[in-house]
Amino acid sequence: MKIKRGPLKPLLSSPPRASSRLWLLIDAMRLGRPLLLAFVFFLLGSILFSPVSNGLEQMFLSSSGGMTPLPPLEWPPDQSPIPRHIWQMVGNAPPVTMKKELSESVFWDAKFKIYDLLQYGDSKPYFANLRGFQGLFNTQSAFLPEVPVWNFGLNYRNNRLKNLNGEASPIQGSRSFVPLHFLYTGKKLMIGATLPYQYWSLSKPGSGKPDISMSGIHNPEIRFGKEIWTNSLGDTALTLYLAAKFSGNNYDIPDPEFARRTKIGALIGPALATRGPWAEIGGAYSSQLNDRFTVHFNLGLANDSRDELMRTMYSSSMDYRLTRNVLMTGELSGEHWKWGMGPDGNNLDFLLGTTFFNEYWQANFGFPVAIQNDWGHGTSVGFVCGINTRWE
């Protein structure tokens, strides 16, 4: 049985064949309209809110030559939420060198750095002083450096002599003290030694006798010091020290008739050389007030047990920094002498001096003036100078 085939009819009703393609297009537009609108909005949003749109627009305009390009954006812009790597992608963020920024601003307003913070190559004013400690003239500085420093110096002090133990009977003469110093400072420590030389000459006015003089080794000395405290800024410090002196056996004095020199009945010579050894303990306090002024205070106690001599030493000074390499100093130094067999007394001097220094050398000049002389050979005026060198 054969089945007769005829034209197939669609299961669902459909428009005529002539308009079938038009209906397919309309159905496609009906279904794709939401997708098309979403794509258009996405494209507009990416153009308007993209972080690289400004950079791309600038690059395009500069290459086309149609409009003047915008100025380059600098990093970091004020209140910018854009990450740094995005700015670097468009070529507008040069690398920031923090080292350069810090180097330009660390000491922008500072004329002079704090002494304890100075490193290699910077000038410091404190070499070996007249007593062999680190400091200026007769006053010790408590600022001991961290960097190892070796000091070598030769100083000179001359004083005119006018009386004995503050008495009215005058004498004429002078005494000189020439110490040779070797000093090491570093790691907040101080170790040094002094080999001093002395010379003195005395006469009695109206006696008609020649001057009596003597020269030779004074009392050699060794010392040790340690900076035990400094504040957080490094501009205030406290140092303690120990020292020992040994007799050079040159403690001669003129006899009562000023005919010759003798050791009979002598304990201490005109230049303060003694018969017995000395033990000394003391401290120094220093504070930098500002860029120009620094103050120092010293206090020490020395004892000669052999001859029952005790000496209390005190001094204070103020340094004024004229320039980076010139310093002026005003110094007040005194001693109280106590002898078991008497008499006791005080000596007080004022000194005004100037120091010239650089990284390796120091030269100083000063003029001491006696304010009080009650013990030993009294002085009037004098002269102090010295030359020091150091190496690190």
Domains and CATH numbers, the chain: 32-103 (no CATH), 116-391 (2.40.160.40)
Q: Which DSSP string do the residues of 18-83 spell out, in sequence order? A: GGHHHHHHHHHHHHHHHHHHHHHHHHHHHHHH-TTHHHHHHHHHHHHTSSPPPPPPPSSPTT--S-
Does the predicted TM-score (pTM) go above 0.75? no
Over the stretch 199-251, which tens digit does the pLDDT of each residue have? Answer: 999 988 877 777 899 999 999 999 999 999 999 988 999 999 999 999 999 99
Q: Which residues contact 23 (CB under 8 A, 6 or more apart)?
A: 15
Q: Would you say 377 and 161 are in contact if contact means Cβ atoms under 8 Å apart?
A: yes
Whether the per-residue pLDDT at 171 is higher than 90: the answer is: no
Q: Would you say 211 and 173 are in contact if contact means Cβ atoms under 8 Å apart?
A: yes
Model pLDDT, residue 123: 66
Q: Which DSSP string do the residues of 310-376 spell out, in sequence order? A: EEEEEEEEEEEEEETTEEEEEEEEEEEEEETTS--EEEEEEEEEEEEE-SSEEEEEEEEEEEEE-SS
CA 268/CA 318 separation, integer angstroms = 31
Over the stretch 99-121, which tens digit does the pLDDT of each residue have? Answer: 444 444 454 444 444 444 443 33
Over the stretch 343-357, which tens digit does the pLDDT of each residue have? Answer: 889 999 999 999 999
Model pLDDT, residue 159: 95
Residue 18's pLDDT band, with cuts at 50, 70 and 90, is very low
